[in-house]
Amino acid sequence: MGEPILLTTWPFGDAANRAAWPALEAGGSSLDAVEAVCAHVDDDESVHTVGYGGLPDRDGAVSLDGCVMQSPARVGSVCAVRRHAHPVTLARRVMEETPHVMLAGPGADGFGDACGFAPVELLAPEARARWERRAPSRSHDTVCCLALDRAGVLSGGCSSSGAAYKLPGRVGDSPIPGHGLYVDPAHGGAAATGNGELVMGLCSSFLAVEEMRSGANPLAALLEALERIQAAHELAEDDQVAMVALAPDGRHASAALRKGYATAVLRPGSGGVVEPDAILLDE
């Protein structure tokens, strides 16, 4: 039996990790854990980048994206969800109960209805007020969670309301396997948060896992993925991408293009919010 671990993006991941921890520590599955972590952040109205409370698009509508993955054959995703608050839960149902990988827009909402989930209004009063005055936002804070359970099974999940004030219809990296999240049970998982447009042309999470498949440790794998982003784009001063990686043996790392990012880590006997192992720029 191995040690369980939770690796979740951003400081808000800490409370979510702690809520999901007792079940994982008691032998629960990593899939249940990533679903619970993401749902916990979805329900936190003070997080304006995920779930209920997320900032809307240009026209005032909140739309959510999410993905869950355990292997290339066990992956589910939803995007542009307007009436259901837990995209990772929906994505898991897509993975487990349909022959498909991804459902989008009204089809995803209809699937949520058919699963028996009660529809909700996703636009919280404070998010509406911020949209009305176009209050500036650090809009790129997706929750991504990589988890390993006592049975040694690796799972990943991510949930996002995407970019604040995005064009209606915009979908980012988070729900797309290989872009915002990728898991290979033999070699590891990786996930990305930040400006999805920087990630999507490079399949950054897939790239990081492929680096691990080739023998790189988690930090070297993330640095390769971030360096490829830096090389491919003319980065603006506020462009940010941060990534996390977890190997099947529990080794893990996080890295970011810029300062301002931190990871919530929880394992037996230790836990908390840690600075990234490397920051590519800003040093």
Sheet (strand 188-194) strand order: 181-184, 188-194, 241-246, 252-256, 278-279
Asked if 163 is part of the footprint of ligand ASP (rule: CB under 6 A), the reply reads yes
> Segment near ligand ASP (CB under 6 A), from 40-48, 169-177, 244-252, 260-268?
169-177
Asked if 162 is part of the footprint of ligand ASP (rule: CB under 6 A), the reply reads yes
> Segment near ligand ASP (CB under 6 A), from 100-108, 156-164, 256-264, 269-277?
156-164
d(CA 276, CA 234): 23
Q: Is the C-alpha dihedral spanning 68, 69, 74, 78 positive or negative?
A: positive
Q: Which two tokens stand for residue 216?
A: 């790189």
As measured in angstroms, the least distance from the Cβ of 99 to ligand ASP is: 26
How far from 153 is each of 92, 135, 248, CA to CA, in Å? 16, 42, 8
Which letter does DSSP use for residue 118 in this model?
P
> Segment near ligand ASP (CB under 6 A), from 25-33, 100-108, 168-176, 257-265?
168-176
d(CA 86, CA 176): 16
Rank residues 29 and 49 by Cβ distance to ligand ASP and give the closer one.
Answer: 49
Q: What are phi and psi of 107, to 5 degrees?
A: -65, -40
Q: Is 9 a catalytic residue?
A: no
Rank residues 49 and 155 by Cβ distance to ligand ASP and give the closer one.
Answer: 49
Can you tell me which of 17, 29, 77, 160 binds ligand ASP, judged by CB under 6 A?
160
Rank residues 200 and 219 by Cβ distance to ligand ASP and give the closer one.
Answer: 200
Q: Which residues are catalytic, by number?
A: 142
Contact set with ligand ASP (CB under 6 A): 49, 140-142, 160, 162-163, 172-174, 180, 193-196
